[in-house]
């Protein structure tokens, strides 16, 4: 298993540009998440999904959009990039069902700089 994969690893955007961060998992996990991590800070949840076709906002969703058309893929879209979106973005997945929780598996991250 490849686990959770993310592309690209690095990206520099100009203010106002748009891009999509890709995330794929091959563990058949139902839950998927997008986090951002600013230097010296913890992870902030942007969006999450409990299954294909179902997404919901996390703590910091403004400026981002997601979709989940398949179990495997959970892309994150940045529209009109701003310097405040400079961060490291982590995608994660977990197998979760009512009353039972499991750890999250994280992808390697995408380092995004907006200039």
Nearer of residues 14 and 100 to other proteins, judged by Cβ: 100
Separation CA 40–CA 101 (nearest Å): 27
Nearer of residues 14 and 103 to other proteins, judged by Cβ: 103
From the CB of 33, what's the least distance to other proteins, in Å? 8
Q: Which residues make up the interface to other proteins (CB under 8 A)?
A: 31, 33, 35, 40-45, 48, 50, 56, 58-59, 90, 96, 101, 103-109
Residue whose pair of structure tokens reads 């890709």 in the numeric block: 22
Q: Is 53 helix (H, G, I), strand (E, B) or coil?
A: coil
Of 89, 107, 90, nearest to 27 (Cα)? 107
Nearer of residues 67 and 96 to other proteins, judged by Cβ: 96
Nearer of residues 14 and 40 to other proteins, judged by Cβ: 40
Separation CA 7–CA 102 (nearest Å): 25
From the CB of 112, what's the least distance to other proteins, in Å? 15
Residue 42 CA from chain centroid, whole number = 15
Phi and psi at 29, nearest 5°, equal -75, 145
From the CB of 37, what's the least distance to other proteins, in Å? 9
The pair of three-digit structure tokens given for residue 105, joined into one six-digit string:
């598996």
From the CB of 16, what's the least distance to other proteins, in Å? 28
């Amino acid at each position: 298993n490849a686990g959770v994969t993310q592309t690209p690893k690095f990206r520099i955007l100009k203010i106002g540009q748009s891009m999509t961060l890709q995330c794929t998992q091959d563990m058949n996990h139902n839950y998927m998440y997008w986090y951002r991590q600013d230097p010296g800070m913890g992870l902030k949840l942007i969006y999450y999904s409990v299954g294909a076709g179902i997404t919901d906002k996390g703590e910091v969703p403004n400026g981002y959009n997601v979709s989940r058309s398949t179990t495997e893929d959970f892309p994150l879209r940045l529209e009109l990039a701003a310097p405040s979106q400079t961060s490291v973005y982590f995608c994660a997945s977990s197998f979760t069902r009512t009353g039972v929780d499991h750890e999250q598996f994280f992808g390697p991250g995408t380092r995004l700089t907006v200039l």
